[in-house]
Amino acid sequence: MSGDVKLLGIDIGASGSRARLSVGGQVEAESEAPSASVPAVGFDRAKDALQSLLTDLGVQRVTPIDAICVGSAGLSLPGVEDFLRGELAAYAGSAAVLVVKDVMLVLPAAGLDEGIAVVCGTGSVAIGLYGGRTVQIGGWGYLLGDEGGGYWIVREAIRELLRRQDRAVPRGDLASQLLTATGASDLAALHRQYYEQPHMPVAWARHAEVVLDSKDPAASDIRAVAARAAGTLATDAARQLAAPEGLPVVLAGGLFRNQLFRHAVSIAVAQTLPTADVRVLPDAPVAGALRLAELAAKRAKSAGPSFLE
């Protein structure tokens, strides 16, 4: 699309949010804010974060926007989609508003219409798109799954340290590194701190980098198991889709900034999907929100008023 078409894309993750405003096909402004994910921070803080994003973009309620796409974590929680639509209604006017799961932004951000997105951040999930079908693998949340995600990695590290304590063997480098990162005075304090914050996966996931970079033998084992779990997400998605050889697999999420983890997952995927085109997302997922907003604007223009009713 060209001219003065104005598009708004928003990516809401469990640990942060990002928005981009595009005018005439060019990104005019970008903003970041704390998470606006309702399950992560609650409705009030989510509203504040969303307003901060829009204010920093310079978007006002009278701004004519042709389409808005928001991808959000925690969208399955009742009321979240209605909350987002309600907050954006004053900015959208008659514009098309598309609300999707945040993982759905990855493939569009990579410029792909089909493929498999493997996302490892606080949790882990895969989305596969092929032949008009969509499948989701994993993404069960930290209580039931999310193997290979940041919270899972840190939890496994703490478990290993507690096992070492029970066996009265040296704590190793991993203990000193995690104690420093968390500010805990000793392992007992770390144990207590963990149970004082049982429902804060984001807070624990931020220490995953410490585990992934540790030279402790247990950390290497945890990294390997996490990588295999991420590889399994891609494999299961490909099987459910009956995907052809060479279907792209896009790795996205904060954990893939870690070179060791990125390399291990690439190898894990190649072992079960040897012909897959494995790549790391080259742009932020919010780019996918803009691409989906553009497609929504095109559909609205071609369909006429009934598309917006």
* pLDDT greater at residue 96 or residue 124: 124
What is the band of 265 on the pLDDT scale with cuts at 50, 70, 90?
Answer: very high
Q: What is the mean pLDDT of the chain?
A: 89
| pLDDT beyond 50 at 308 | no
CATH of the domain at 217: 3.30.420.40
Residues 154 and 272 in one domain: yes
Of 10-19, 88-97, 214-223, the range with the highest mean pLDDT is 214-223
**Residue 57 maps to a domain:** yes
**Residue 157 maps to a domain:** yes
| pLDDT beyond 50 at 204 | yes
> Tell me, what's the pLDDT at 62?
61
Residues 120 and 262 in one domain: yes
Average pLDDT over residues 242-270: 93
Residues 38 and 153 in one domain: no
| pLDDT beyond 80 at 50 | yes
- Strand partners of residue 99: 70
Asked if residue 37 lies in contact with residue 72, where contact means CB atoms within 8 angstroms, the answer is yes
> Tell me, what's the pLDDT at 130?
95
| pLDDT beyond 80 at 210 | yes
Domain count across the chain: 2
> Tell me, what's the pLDDT at 236?
95
Residues 83 and 147 in one domain: no
| pLDDT beyond 90 at 291 | yes
Structural domain including 265 reads 115-280
What is the band of 143 on the pLDDT scale with cuts at 50, 70, 90?
Answer: confident
> Tell me, what's the pLDDT at 127?
95
What is the band of 191 on the pLDDT scale with cuts at 50, 70, 90?
Answer: very high
> Tell me, what's the pLDDT at 1?
47
The lowest-confidence range among 64-68, 115-119, 271-275 is 64-68
Residues 55 and 130 in one domain: no
